[in-house]
Structure 1
Amino acid sequence: MQKATFLLPIVLVAALAAGCGGGGSASVDKQDVAVVGKVHVNKAEYNTLIDQAKRSYKLQGRPFPKQGTTDYESVKGNAVTLLVQQAEREAQAESMGIKISDADIQKRLDQIIKQYFQGKHAKYEAQLKKQHLTDAQVRKDIRSQLISEAVFNKVTKDVKVSADEVHQYYLTHSQLYSQPQSRDVRYILVKSKAIATSIYSQVKAGNDQTWCRLAKKYAKDASGQNCGKATFTKGQTVPVFDKVAFSQPTKKVHAPFYDPVQYKSWFVVEPLSPVKPRQSTPEKQVASSIKQQLLQQKKNVEMTAWVSKTNKDFCSGSKIKYAAGYTPSQDPCAATTTNATTTG
């Protein structure tokens, strides 16, 4: 059974680096770790993330970094940055006309409870207790996720993929939609040339039962369990075997040959079927999946461009303030400002 995990995935944060700042400027209060425009990011939210990080480390059997260490500052900075990004995204969503209602949150929560807890609230509440979370915290995380999804959908709503783009992708990636030549063979792999020669003499004069008996007795690989029978595609195995398997006449046993590259052993091989030709999947059968793949790629590009622009817009001026001791060691706004100065 799948396990429900909180915090719930945050689309923009997971996929992209969101920008900094947003809206006017407010003063940092005692209970804040940061202020984003007029949005206060409080220490309770920060402590929740740190507690979750500690539990994650414990589950992995790793000691949580000690305060004052570089690793601790990295975890701390990531927590603060995540909360700041959430506040920024909410501010952007508001300016885009995106609103998430309590009903929207309840609907998603109901889906989670149905999927992960068989629709039983008692099991959901037990999981909350186990993870030291509250229903309010989960609802806040759901709200953040819904905002992320709505922003992504709105930014990428006009992205399209044409039939020509699908066709060009199919042509330039034809190897993904084709299967090489294949052939059914039976073979016996042995270390000794003398044994290979003896097997060759017996199977030439024998029948299916002869092959099966000798394969089970002598084969040095798993093929013996199937009387030596197997299907190979062109180029699948070592060159010397590949050459014989795809050139030897059907139902004619090839004289023993040695592989000096990988197996360093002797083979006795008999093709059982004609060579099956290379097969390609028609474009119309894969067009839909190609279109979805290209669409997602183009949406990600569009989203990346939007985030880049947002970085420049929000990281100007003093639109974000950190409480003393909470400035991330790698401040995204500092990096954006540096890049703007360098490239401007």
Structure 2
Amino acid sequence: MSKTRSFSALCAFFVVTLTLAACGGGGIPGDAVVKVGDSTIKKTTFAHWLQIAAISSQGASDPTAAAQGRKPKVTIPDPPKFTACIANKKKTAPKPAKGQPEQTVTQFKTQCKTEYEQLRDQVLQFLISSEWISGEAADQGVKVTDKEVQKQFQTTKKQSFPKETDFQKFLASSGMTLNDLLFRVKLDTLSNKLRTKITKGKDTVTPAQIAAYYNKNKARFAQPERRDLRIILTKTAADAQKALARVKSGESFGKVAKALSVDQASKSQGGVLLAVAKGQQEKALDDAVFAAPKGKLVGPIKTNFGYYIFKVQKITPKTQQSLKDATPTIKQLLASQNQQTALDTFVKNFRKKWKGKTECRDGYVTQDCKNAPKTKTTSTAATTATPQTTTPPVQTAPPTTTTTP
């Protein structure tokens, strides 16, 4: 795992795919870009995390920065004119191939606008979800002490950076401060505590539920009959007869298989084919194999692949796992399903509740803002497997490793 990658796995947050555009923003203080309930996300906070995101996305262009423990040189797209961004792209753009036109200012501006909007949305998604988690934790009485945060931080830091100098280089090259990391660790801890509270007691499974699942899914707890074979495959019936005669005369099956079989997989093993279950072979061979008694030489059997002779070496009867033996597996499965159902319900209510409290300024509206325009959705499936915030792309390991959301 990349160093400090665990710093990026934060908070309980679930993304719903919507098509949204910017609008609204009334009632938001002048120094803020988003208002969530009584809290605000200030322009300075947004700018700080935007720079971190830009460093992560552009840092690969300055690979020596992290190694030297310095902040990479980045150009943050500057809306609405994107003057600095356009100038930087013109300066660094490769020369076009012979006969191809140079990129225009309009094309550079389009690139800058796209890059800015991607960074903006990632940063806002992270900051808004952080407010949601903090707010939900407060509403549910879930608290994290500074001591808990420090303990978790020191554990993660020790695992990721055995040397203090490496950690200091990471801070310098990532654009993050120590407080930024502590903030993210706090959110991670809050998320874990919320998730524990939401799923507490939801793993109870009754014997009746286990029995009902077992009776409905008995096939999942069964093993079919399996047969170990010695086989020889030939291209012609004449070759199959030769193989059959040689084995009947007392020559070892393995020797004949290596001499005459065209089935490379079993040929190299002396014709051995183990643990064959019904339905795994071509139908003509399959029918013959499971009709044959143990130890009898059978064939030739004509198939689409050629002619087989075979002998059943061993028969392992089918088995059915008992309800008692299957109970631990079923109990774990049903408990997990119950917990996931609880999380799914929480996600639905959590998102509705906090989106309704989130108002965004014009130019900063994302899918999480209540003042986003109504549009048709192509998908409303929430990602609910694990609670986790979506963070802006941030550098998480020196010297050059970066992560993306």
TM-score under structure 2 length normalisation: 0.67
| 2:365 paired with 1:327 | yes
Distance in 2 between residues matched to 1:188 and 1:132, nearest whole Å: 67
Distance in 2 between residues matched to 1:38 and 1:302, nearest whole Å: 28
| 2:214 paired with 1:214 | no
Matched to 2:28, the amino acid is S
Is the 1:315–1:337 Cα contact (8 Å) retained in structure 2?
no
Aligned residues, how many? 315
The equivalent position to 1:240 in structure 2, one of 262, 284, 305, is: 284
The equivalent position to 2:294 in structure 1, one of 250, 253, 267, is: 250
- Where does 1:157-176 land on structure 2 (aligned, <5 Å)? 157-159=200-202, 160-176=204-220
- Where does 1:140-155 land on structure 2 (aligned, <5 Å)? 140-155=183-198
Distance in 1 between residues matched to 2:294 and 2:242, nearest whole Å: 21
Identity of aligned residues (%): 22
- Where does 1:223-238 land on structure 2 (aligned, <5 Å)? 223-231=266-274, 232-238=276-282
1:83 counterpart residue number: 127
| 2:28 paired with 1:27 | yes
Is the 1:196–1:266 Cα contact (8 Å) retained in structure 2?
yes
- Where does 1:285-304 land on structure 2 (aligned, <5 Å)? 285-304=325-344
Residue-by-residue CA offset, 1:119-178 (whole Å, 9 max, x unaligned): 555555566567554443332222111111111221222312222222222222222222
Residue-by-residue CA offset, 1:11-56 (whole Å, 9 max, x unaligned): 522x5659xxxxxx973444x4422123233212344345445569
Matched to 1:10, the amino acid is L
Matched to 1:158, the amino acid is G
The equivalent position to 2:244 in structure 1, one of 200, 210, 225, is: 200
SS in 1 for 2:291: coil
Distance in 1 between residues matched to 2:33 and 2:144, nearest whole Å: 25
TM-score under structure 1 length normalisation: 0.77
Distance 1:267 1:73, change over 3 A: farther
Distance 1:66 1:156, change over 3 A: same
1:283 counterpart residue number: 323
Runs (5+) with no aligned partner, structure 1: 19-24, 60-64, 340-344
SS in 2 for 1:327: coil
Matched to 1:267, the amino acid is Y
1:67 counterpart residue number: 112
Is the 1:186–1:270 Cα contact (8 Å) retained in structure 2?
yes
Comparing 129-138 and 99-108, the one that deviates more: 129-138
2:222 counterpart residue number: 178
SS in 1 for 2:281: coil
Distance 1:332 1:248, change over 3 A: farther
1:21 counterpart residue number: none
Is the 1:256–1:268 Cα contact (8 Å) retained in structure 2?
yes
Runs (5+) with no aligned partner, structure 2: 18-25, 64-109, 377-405
Is the 1:17–1:307 Cα contact (8 Å) retained in structure 2?
no
Distance in 2 between residues matched to 1:89 and 1:337, nearest whole Å: 25
Residue-by-residue CA offset, 1:280-303 (whole Å, 9 max, x unaligned): 333333423322222222122122
Is the 1:113–1:121 Cα contact (8 Å) retained in structure 2?
no
Distance 1:332 1:52, change over 3 A: same
Matched to 2:328, the amino acid is S
Is the 2:226–2:278 Cα contact (8 Å) retained in structure 1?
yes
Distance in 1 between residues matched to 2:349 and 2:358, nearest whole Å: 17
Q: Which has the higher helix share?
A: 1
Matched to 2:147, the amino acid is A
1:100 counterpart residue number: 144
SS in 1 for 2:8: coil
1:342 counterpart residue number: none
Is the 1:28–1:322 Cα contact (8 Å) retained in structure 2?
no
Distance in 2 between residues matched to 1:216 and 1:78, nearest whole Å: 62
- Where does 1:261-280 land on structure 2 (aligned, <5 Å)? 264-273=305-314, 275-280=315-320
Distance in 1 between residues matched to 2:235 and 2:372, nearest whole Å: 62
